[in-house]
Amino acid sequence: MDFNSALSGLKATSSELSVISNNIANVSTNGFKSSRTEFADIYANSNGGGGKTAIGSGVLLSAVTQQFGQGQISFTDNNLDLAISGKGFFIMSNNGSIAYSRAGSFGVDKNGYIVNNTDQRLRGFLADNLGNITGAQTDLQISTATLAPKPSSAVNVNVNLDATSEPPTAPFVAGFTPVLPPDPSTYNSSTSTTIYDSLGNSHIMTSYFVKAHAENTWRVYVGIDGSDVTPVPNTPPVGVPPMPYPTGELAQPYTLVFNTSGGYIVNNPATPATYYGPGPVTSTTSGLVNSGSLQPLNLNDLTLNSVAITASSSTSDGSSTTDNGASSIALAAAINQNTASHGVTASVNPNVLDLGIATFGNLAAGDFSINGVPIIGVNANETDLLNLINAQTATTGVVGTQPGGAGTSIILTANDSRNIQLITDGTQATGANFANFNLNGGVALNQAQRGTINLVTNSNQGIIVGGPNPGHAGLVSGPQSGIVQTSSDPIDISNWTPAGGAFGPQQVSLNFNNSTQYGAPFSVLALSQNGYSTGLLAGVNVDSSGVLFAKYNNGQSLALGQVALANFGNVQGLSPQGNTSWVETFSSGSALIGAPGTAELGTIQSGALESSNVELTDELVELIVAQRNFQANAQSIKTADAVTQTIINLR
């Protein structure tokens, strides 16, 4: 029995030496998993059992198990070299025969399939023509076909428009062409980007930004390859003004509207642009004519029909004793410059001021003053008011008359060449209309006041906002006119057909939702569009989730598929097949297939390989131990031989 036990030890140790040697031999094999010998002792038992004096019969090699611990990941220069960080196996196909491997050294065969060194194909999930990963499994293939162009359909524009900008002095001329481009003096700023047609041809789209007269409002004109593609505005709606434009109709060239915080106001179909009728209907009647409601105005910030009016300090009559920059001439010039937008015409009359008041009521101190002199009276009708005004002529220098006779408007004349300064507290006396021109506590008529003029449609004829020495400014308008818009237009180009045979008309939408209007210089923060030209394959890459991307020379990427990984309930049950591959067995269970990074599956590292998980130092130590074990078992045979020889020599 001594010989048998020692012989079994030699056999077992020899197997251990073989396993260790195999581990050491594959220390540089990518994806290799080391093996470990496992032993069991042997007892020869009788039918009745071994009893307390049973002696073992040696050792038995019970199993050689592989250790599937993670190997070190080293980086390479090949994007198709793949390493699994964590659990899982690559799925390899050989004409339908499936094997599993951790070795990720891959290349491409003549048909574009991703293969390993033994021409087994890497399996994964199929991607459709748009790059969407489907659940269908297939052999992964890299297509070298040309990437078809994609026509641009959406452009995102993120700009800041300078809130301090003034409307250009010259109007922007629509219908520009490459031969007759827009005059730079007619727009505030511009930006360009490249878009593509259905054939992959590139085109330059340019947006021209024009500060509108209405506050926080800009016009946008769009040109492609130098030609204007901005649609012609729709004709005004028919009906009694104000009339809203039908939803989707363009009231004026593309309009961007911002709120008082500088944020972009997106289109709201529930509040379309409103049309206030034709105009202006100009009158030469001098003086003040009632205009509905006159709210306080900021100096040099007069607003008519949503159009901001700014009086230039360079335009002045030079004789105003209060504010030359806002003189009647300056205001009239500024207003008339934008008459087409707001429908109001200003005129300057050097002689008279028409109060537009037929009857009046009680006047207490502070209710009404002319040139600082209070006009006070009880139960004053227009005749009483006329007498009260003329009673103070020696002090005020102002004469009141009623050229039309009793019951008509009172005309004030500054006969001593002084400004006519009217002061009112805005009190609505019986029969009076002073609330219609509230001068808010003593501001000369040659100054615009704080607030906004609100013209109502039922009594909208005219207003006066100036009165320098020696007269006043009479602002006369017809019915309220123009277009009021409170939200931005959708900017959709639908009338452009590219040259050269490309599909047309091509639809292109511009999105300004992230644009702003702050008090900072014009700046382009972001420009992007969704089209591209024809692309040739320039390379491939695999991300951590195993998605295989083709990179094209037009800057685009397209998913071609996704690497699939497999895991098993018992990886020790896998059967090794050589070439660093395994096949499933009944003991391993069926493969659990999924995408990298899901469930318990690891992630993919592109341009890297998993090295052998053999720890060389440990194997060398084990080799020494196995060698000593072999020598010890050999010594046991030698000792048993000596004992046997002694017994033989007894005779």
Residue with tokens 């909208």: 460
Residue type, 318: G
Model confidence band, residue 35 (pLDDT cutoffs 50, 70, 90): confident
Q: In whole angstroms, what is the distance from residue 2 CA to residue 348 CA?
A: 134
Inform me whether the pLDDT recorded for 531 exceeds 70: yes
Token pair for 15: 């197997």
Number of H helices, E strands in the chain: 6, 44
Q: In whole angstroms, what is the distance from residue 457 CA to residue 467 CA?
A: 26
Q: Which residues pair with 363 in a beta bridge?
A: 377
Lowest mean pLDDT of 6-10, 43-47, 284-288, 583-587, name the range: 284-288
Distances (CA, A) of 504 to 199, 425, 496, 507, 624: 11, 64, 7, 8, 80
Residue type, 27: V
Q: What percent of the chain has pLDDT over 70?
A: 71
Inform me whether the pLDDT recorded for 121 exceeds 90: yes
Calculated CA dihedral for residues 258, 273, 448, 356, nearest 10 degrees: -160
Model confidence band, residue 6 (pLDDT cutoffs 50, 70, 90): confident
pLDDT mean over 24-44: 84
Alpha helices in 361-405 (DSSP H): 382-391, 393-396
Q: In whole angstroms, what is the distance from residue 315 CA to residue 331 CA?
A: 9
Token pair for 629: 């074990």
Inform me whether the pLDDT recorded for 543 exceeds 80: yes
pLDDT for the residue numbered 285: 30
pLDDT for the residue numbered 47: 59
pLDDT for the residue numbered 10: 78
In the DSSP assignment, the letter for residue 237 is P
Most confident of 401-415, 564-578, 619-633: 564-578
Lowest mean pLDDT of 7-11, 481-485, 489-493, name the range: 481-485
pLDDT for the residue numbered 477: 40
pLDDT for the residue numbered 137: 93
pLDDT mean over 263-286: 68
Q: In which residue ranges of the chain is CATH 2.60.98.20 found?
A: 154-276+485-529
Q: In whole angstroms, what is the distance from residue 464 CA to residue 345 CA?
A: 11
Residue with tokens 């599956």: 601
For residues 372-387, b (16+ Cβ closer than 10 Å) or e, as one string? Answer: ebebbbeebebebbbe
pLDDT for the residue numbered 459: 31
pLDDT for the residue numbered 212: 85
Q: Strand 575-578 relative to strand 565-567: parallel, antiparallel, unpaired?
A: unpaired
pLDDT mean over 149-159: 96
Inform me whether the pLDDT recorded for 420 exceeds 90: no
Q: In whole angstroms, what is the distance from residue 636 CA to residue 155 CA?
A: 87
CATH number, domain 154-276+485-529, options 2.60.98.20, 1.10.10.10, 1.20.1250.20, 3.30.950.10:
2.60.98.20
Are 515 and 160 in contact by the 8 Å Cβ rule? The answer is: yes
pLDDT for the residue numbered 371: 67
pLDDT in tens, 502-516: 999 999 999 999 999
Are 519 and 162 in contact by the 8 Å Cβ rule? The answer is: yes
String of DSSP letters for 79-136 = TT-EEEESB-EEEEEETTEEEEES----EE-TTSBEE-TT-PEEEEEEE-TTS-EEEE
- Identify whether 479 is preceded by a cis peptide bond (ω within 30 of 0): no
Q: What percent of the chain has pLDDT over 90?
A: 42
Token pair for 239: 């009906």
HEC states along 327-371? CHHHHHHHHHHCHHHHCEEEEEECCEEECCCCCCCCECCCCEEEC
pLDDT in tens, 79-107: 999 999 999 999 999 988 999 999 999 99
Model confidence band, residue 327 (pLDDT cutoffs 50, 70, 90): very low
pLDDT in tens, 328-351: 455 566 667 776 666 566 655 444
Residues contacting 96, CB < 8 A, separation 6+:
none
pLDDT for the residue numbered 450: 22
Inform me whether the pLDDT recorded for 325 exceeds 50: no
pLDDT for the residue numbered 48: 57
Model confidence band, residue 430 (pLDDT cutoffs 50, 70, 90): very low
pLDDT for the residue numbered 313: 40
Q: In whole angstroms, what is the distance from residue 97 CA to residue 116 CA?
A: 14
Question: Within a 13 Å sphere around the CA of 524, how many CA atoms are in the beta-carbon half?
Answer: 14
